[in-house]
Amino acid sequence: VISLSDIFISPLEDIYFVTELLGTDLHRLLTSRPLEKQFIQYFLYQIMRGLKYVHSAGVVHRDLKPSNILVNENCDLKICDFGLARIQDPQMTGYVSTRYYRAPEIMLTWQKYDVEVDIWSAGCIFAEML
């Protein structure tokens, strides 16, 4: 999960988040070249470990996709863009996540879903990496 260094508000009341700088995102990496198996395994491990951390805090990301996973020069991944994230709640909103990474329960049961939607998205990312 990406580190937050600072938050500040501009005179025009815009909010800025200062985070660590990473070189690229997983989407750009996937579109530039095929990944070797050891990288796929390492990346999937990091994604699942990051989700375990997020979910242990009671948060559902709800928009996990390759462009929301940043990559540095050491191939370390960081989950970012928590704009659609919510604290786990029995009643969640139905219109979330990018279409291609959206779990079936979001579409079928609409407001009754949990952290499993992020696991589904991770599975979609895994398939895309293959």
- CATH number at 29 reads 1.10.510.10
Domain that holds residue 55: 22-129
Query: Cα-flanking dihedrals φ and ψ of residue 49, to 5°?
Result: -65, -40
DSSP 57: T
- What's the pLDDT score for residue 93? 56
Whether residue 1 is contained in a domain is answered as no
Q: Which of 14, 63, 81, 89 is catalytic?
A: 63
Number of domains, the chain: 1
Whether residue 64 is contained in a domain is answered as yes
Whether residue 4 is contained in a domain is answered as no
Residues (pLDDT < 50) of the chain are none
- Exposure letters 104-125 (e unless 16+ CB within 10 A, then b): eebeeeeeebebebbebbbebb
Catalytic annotation present for 118: no
pTM for this entry = 0.84
Residues 6+ apart with CB under 8 A from 21: none
Whether residue 11 is contained in a domain is answered as no
Determine the Cα angle at 84 with ends 80 and 85, to 5°: 70
Whether residue 114 is contained in a domain is answered as yes
